[in-house]
Amino acid sequence: MKSPLQKTYDVVVVGGGPAGLAAALGAGEAGAEDILIVDRETEAGGILNQCIHSGFGLHHFKEELTGPEYAERFIQSVLSRQVTILTDSYVMNIAPDLHIEVISGDYGHLEVQAKSVVLAMGCRERTRGAIRTPGFRPAGVMTAGLAQKMVNMKGLLPGRRIAILGSGDIGLIMARRLMLEGCEVVGVYELMPFSNGLTRNLVQCLDDFAIPLRLSTTVAFIHGRDRVQRLTMAPVDDQLMPILNQSWQVACDTLLLSIGLIPENELSTRLRLKMDPATGGPQVTSTLETSLPGVFACGNVLHVHDLVDFVTEEALRAGRFAAEVAQGRRRPGDNISLQTGENIASCVPHSLSPDREQVVYLRVKRPLKDCVLTIGDRYEKVFRMLIPSEMIRLTLGPEILDRYFGEHLKIEVHPGEVA
Amino acid sequence: MYDVIIIGGGIVGCALARELSRYRIRVALLEREVEVGFGTSKTNSGIIHAGHHAHPDTLKGQLEWIGNQMWDDLARDLNFGFSRIGELLLAMQAEDLNHLEELKKQGERKGVTGLEMWSPKRLRQEEPNLSHDILQALHAPTAGVVNPYEACFGLIECAQQNGVELFCGQPVLSITREDGGLLIHTSRQQFRGRFILNAAGVFADQVAAMVGADDFKILPRKGEEYMLDRRLQGIVTRLIFPTPTVSSKGVLIIPTVDGTIMVGPTAEDVNDREDLSTTFSGADKVFTAVRRYCPAISERDTITEFAGLRAVADSNDFVIGPSPIKGFFNVAGIQSPGLTAAPAIATYVAKMLRGEGLALDEKTDWQAKIEGPPRFALMSAEERRAAISRDPAFGRVVCRCELVTEAEVLYAIKHGARTLDGIKFRVRAGMGRCQGGFCTSRVLDLLSSTLGVPLTELTKRGRGSELFYPRDDRIAPGDGL
């Protein structure tokens, strides 16, 4: 079939999930005329399409939507702006001059030239291999996200008696989902001494359904040659190693894994973008531009978010800045480098410019109570509680940033007491 | 009545099948699992040994080097990946040095070419990521790597193309003697054969016992392997062996034919012939061992792990030959270097059958080559464009980690893939970083629509490993709804 594409686009967005859709919208609002979204699925919307539970949009729309509803609003806005969405298509390669190769189910091999690119590929789930769980390799071990897709999109159940390792949000959501489907959820087990999910999910998905959460616990052995039959569970020590002489058995036919998300950066690595090992995503400036000029990143490919609303906010900005670059406009370059100090696991972006208000996202390394977050010597904010699973969002204005013109700026949290 | 029935569709059974398909005889292969190569072969390390390891007085020592030299032709004819990357055997302590010298002499006596001692200086130049404490290394350029399951699939495809009949999912339950042959009873049907080749791997002694030809025992020896992230690709470019011990060649660093790094295997005698579990202690042994010679390898780079069982015979050598039962032959105890030797075992057995009175007349129309599965990921940009315009299914990416297209999955199904693992090992969908998180549902849809099987009946690797259950839409009374 004849290619539906133009030769050149102002902005090409890789990925049509929440980040990609908002980036295209942001680019359109900033005056980009020709915008293309390439998505590998047959419908845009990304992972939102399988998130049929509600709770999306509280920040952005000030109302509670389901995942597909949230996606639909953006798809409609994007389509009303004449953005081209190419689905069932896969970006094979991005050359450093932003020449892009795509293969498409409908149109075969396509090539386009972009003036700027927004990376919005999202993330993938960590799997069994990453945690080296010993035992057999039966059917019935899968990531929570795959189970969610099969239940919500295909109407199939992953099993009947379910154990969940990891207290990530998808695992918590699936605990509730499978209870509603009539499955038995025997428990959620978390390696760390604290949960990795949002507090609201712990309450609404576990407490409300009387599903037990066991912290500092892991799967020490998976039994069953063909299908999961039972698990050996064990508490872990300070080094997170299982204490095998305190182990016990849990009968179940399914083990869901909700043990973390990894930004999907194969394209970024091939582009040789500078990466941040703490986030697993590219390093970006305050305009969300990567180390390759004209290439921007936002959403979970940049760093894993908790809330889609923050993805949207970040992606709208990335799209805007990408459109500006495509139209030959540039913001002043950054001249303040951000550094993570005590108790800070990661921060995005990695540099700032003092000329305007900046949004900075942070994560702490461990739960902290009654603590003080400091940025350089000009900024202090007191927090009653900070936990790694809830991202911190700060806005910093020129009145603070101007003090650090041409310097390193360190972000730290000083605990009152460790939670 | 078949002239020859092969029991077992591992690498040995598949090699036998292809070898015998050259001749004007009727051959069947019976496999207990739902697809060939699903037993020990699937979990083999994939090493084509250089040829110098096994002693020339043993059968495995004789067939190792002959087999080694047959793999170039096999890989070319059957269109699977094979690369002679060479191997380095490391001496870490003074007493290892003698062993290296002995192995070098043994190899040279067997005719193995290119063996060379490397000094620490040479080693550091060639493999800078290895430990700087290595005293010396024996380089053997004839060693190579394959994906053993790909070899199985290629061999059986060629055998079938030349008339061999394949029966999967049919474990042999008993064998009875009849006039002029033997009668095999499987779970589903009966097969009459004049000659039976017992290539049943870890179950070979049990199969032999069905006719009282079990003058050997199989002692399964488990090996655990750990596949590492592509981050480590290129950390070594050759197979890395420590100085071996009595029971094993030690824990190796294996740059697989796909370029990823694998470490293992362990060697642990087990009683259970289905014990394919990995263990904490196994992981610990593997990583402790390899870090001695390659300190940069971390267990945190593991993307997946698995275990396999070597079919070690109590004689510690291959058990190949006729049994007291007329027509019943054992091709058993095929432990390392069994993969390397497999094609040589096949020709050795064919010759033996001829000696026992089986007329082996060559077919004039025997096809050595198969088309072989397409590999989109390995195509050039030009080839990709051509493939997509030939078949639009090449334009639909099923597995993004390994860049596998729908066309490849459909080819695999056409050539016998029936399970999620069957697709995975044929086309690599699900083998990459996300381990099937993305492609599983697409692969299942393709299996379901092509085979006309509902999603709930599809399995990971055969009956009992069904992947998804139907949703229960009934609402029980008293649910309070």
- A27-66: per-residue pLDDT in tens? 999 999 999 999 999 999 999 999 999 999 999 999 999 9
Q: Using CB atoms, which residue from A104, A127, A136 is nearest to B435?
A: A127
Nearest Cα of chain A lies from the Cα of B104 at a distance, in angstroms, of 38
* Adjacent-strand bridge partners of A368: A386, A418
Q: What is the pLDDT of residues B165-200, one digit of tens each?
A: 999 999 999 999 998 899 999 989 999 999 999 999
A242 vs B: CB within 8 A: yes
Domain ranges of chain B: 84-141+219-309, 376-457
* ipTM for the complex shown: 0.91
Which H or E run includes A11? strand A8-14
Selected from 3.40.50.970, 3.30.110.30, 3.10.180.10, 3.50.50.60, the CATH number assigned to the domain covering A8-124+262-326 reads 3.50.50.60
How much of chain A is in helix, strand and coil states, percent to nearest 5? 25, 35, 40
What DSSP character marks residue A313?
H
pLDDT at B477 over 80: no
Distance of CA A145 to the CA centre of its chain: 13
Q: How confident is the model at residue B160 (pLDDT cuts 50, 70, 90)?
A: very high
Asked if residue B247 lies in contact with residue B221, where contact means CB atoms within 8 angstroms, the answer is yes
What percentage of residues in chain B have a pLDDT greater than 70? 98
* Adjacent-strand bridge partners of B45: none
Which H or E run includes A43? none
Query: Distance between CA atoms of B7 and B16, rounded to whole angstroms?
Result: 10
pLDDT at B474 over 60: no
What percentage of residues in chain B have a pLDDT greater than 90? 89
Asked if residue B91 lies in contact with residue B81, where contact means CB atoms within 8 angstroms, the answer is no
Residue B377 — φ and ψ, nearest 5°? Answer: -60, -25
Q: Where are the alpha helices (DSSP H) in A263-334?
A: 266-270, 308-326
Sign of CA dihedral A187, A193, A197, A198: positive
pLDDT at B207 over 70: yes
Q: Which stretch of A231-245, B197-211, B363-377, B433-447 has the lowest confidence by average pLDDT?
A: B433-447
Q: Which fold has domain A127-259?
A: FAD/NAD(P)-binding domain (3.50.50)
User: Measuring CA to CA, which residue among A37, A38, A72 is closest to residue A52?
Assistant: A72
B400 vs A: CB within 8 A: yes
Asked if residue A297 lies in contact with residue A287, where contact means CB atoms within 8 angstroms, the answer is no
**Residue B247 confidence (pLDDT):** 65
Q: Is A389 left (phi over 0), alpha (psi -120 to 50) or beta?
A: alpha
Integer angstrom CA distances of residue A221 from A291, B98, B332 = 43, 42, 32
**Residue A361 confidence (pLDDT):** 97
Query: Distance between CA atoms of A396 and A380, rounded to whole angstroms?
Result: 11
**Residue B402 confidence (pLDDT):** 87
Q: What is the CATH number of domain B84-141+219-309?
A: 3.30.9.10
User: What dihedral do alpha carbons A282, A286, A289, A291 form, nearest 10°?
Assistant: -60
CB < 8 Å to B429, chain A: none
Q: How confident is the model at residue B135 (pLDDT cuts 50, 70, 90)?
A: very high
**Residue B137 confidence (pLDDT):** 97
How much of chain B is in helix, strand and coil states, percent to nearest 5? 35, 25, 40
pLDDT at B238 over 60: yes
Asked if residue A115 lies in contact with residue A326, where contact means CB atoms within 8 angstroms, the answer is yes
Optimal mutation site among A2, A156, A161, A181, interface B, most CBs of chain B within 10 A: A156
Interchain pair B438, A124: CB under 8 A? yes
Q: What is chain A's mean pLDDT, rounded?
A: 94
pLDDT at A416 over 60: yes
> Averaged over A145-160, what is the pLDDT?
95
> Averaged over B320-339, what is the pLDDT?
96
CATH superfamily name and code, B376-457: BFD-like [2Fe-2S]-binding domain (1.10.10.1100)
Q: What is the pLDDT of residues A278-322, one digit of tens each?
A: 999 999 999 999 999 999 999 999 999 999 999 999 999 999 999
Interchain pair A127, B303: CB under 8 A? yes
What percentage of residues in chain A have a pLDDT greater than 70? 99
N-term to C-term CA, chain A: 60
- Annotated catalytic residue B49: yes
Q: How confident is the model at residue B478 (pLDDT cuts 50, 70, 90)?
A: low
Q: Which stretch of A365-369, B7-11, B14-18, B475-479 has the lowest confidence by average pLDDT?
A: B475-479
User: Measuring CA to CA, which residue among A191, A245, A217, A134 is closest to residue B281?
Assistant: A134
**Residue B480 confidence (pLDDT):** 46
Angle between helices A169-180 and A144-154 (to 10 degrees): 40
* Adjacent-strand bridge partners of A396: A358
Q: How confident is the model at residue A129 (pLDDT cuts 50, 70, 90)?
A: confident
Q: How confident is the model at residue B481 (pLDDT cuts 50, 70, 90)?
A: very low
Query: Distance between CA atoms of A313 and A30, rounded to whole angstroms?
Result: 14
**Token pair belonging to B111:** 């005719």
Domain ranges of chain A: 8-124+262-326, 127-259, 336-418
Q: What is chain B's mean pLDDT, rounded?
A: 94
Q: Is B470 left (phi over 0), alpha (psi -120 to 50) or beta?
A: beta
**Residue B249 confidence (pLDDT):** 76
**Residue B180 confidence (pLDDT):** 84
Q: What is the pLDDT of residues B73-117, one digit of tens each?
A: 999 999 999 999 999 999 999 989 999 999 999 999 999 999 999
- The 10 Å CB-count burial string (b at 16+, else e) for A12-41 is bbbbbbbbbbbbbbbbbebebebbbbbbbb
Q: Is A57 left (phi over 0), alpha (psi -120 to 50) or beta?
A: left
Strand order through the sheet with B82-83: B47-48, B144-146, B82-83
pLDDT at A401 over 80: yes
Nearest Cα of chain A lies from the Cα of B388 at a distance, in angstroms, of 6
- Could you tell me how many CB contacts below 8 A there are between chain A and chain B? 131
What DSSP character marks residue B116?
E
Q: What is the pLDDT of residues A215-253, one digit of tens each?
A: 999 999 999 999 999 999 999 999 999 999 999 999 999
A139 vs B: CB within 8 A: yes
User: Measuring CA to CA, which residue among A90, A16, A76, A92 is closest to residue A47?
Assistant: A16
